[in-house]
Amino acid sequence: MTIKNLGVIGLGRLGLCFALTLESAGFNVYGHDIREDHLSQITNKTFNSSEPGVTEKLLKSKNLKVDVNLKNTVDNSDVEIRPSLSILSRTIDLRLSAKWGLTSGE
C-alpha cells in the first residue's frame, strides 16, 4: 500500500511544524486541532510563527487541509500521527496508528 495521505492530530508548535514538513515532502496532509481560531489562521495563511521556516512553509503549502472534526482527518488519511511533547518527562512521544491495524509506540 502506498501512503500518500497523512493525518496529523494536534497542530500546536510541534504538530504544525511536522505537518508542514510532511506537506513540503510531497504528502497530502490532513491536520486536526480543537482550536477553530487557530485552524482559521492556518487555512487563511495568516498564522505567524516564531519557529524558523514555519510561516514560509505555510505560505507555500498547497496540500495541507485542516479540520476541527477528528473523524474527517482520520477518514481522509492513510496513517494518523499524533506528535506530542511531554514537558514533565522531557521526551517526545510519536505515536503512529495505521488503518490496517499496525501500531507503534503503544
Cell of 93: 512521544
- Indicate whether this model's pTM tops 0.85: no
pLDDT, block means (10 residues), the chain with 106 residues: 91 93 95 95 94 94 96 93 60 42 42
Tell me the CB-side half-sphere exposure of residue 31, using CA atoms within 13 A: 31
pLDDT at 85: 58
pLDDT at 1: 72
- Tell me if 9 sits within 8 A of 32, measured CB to CB: yes
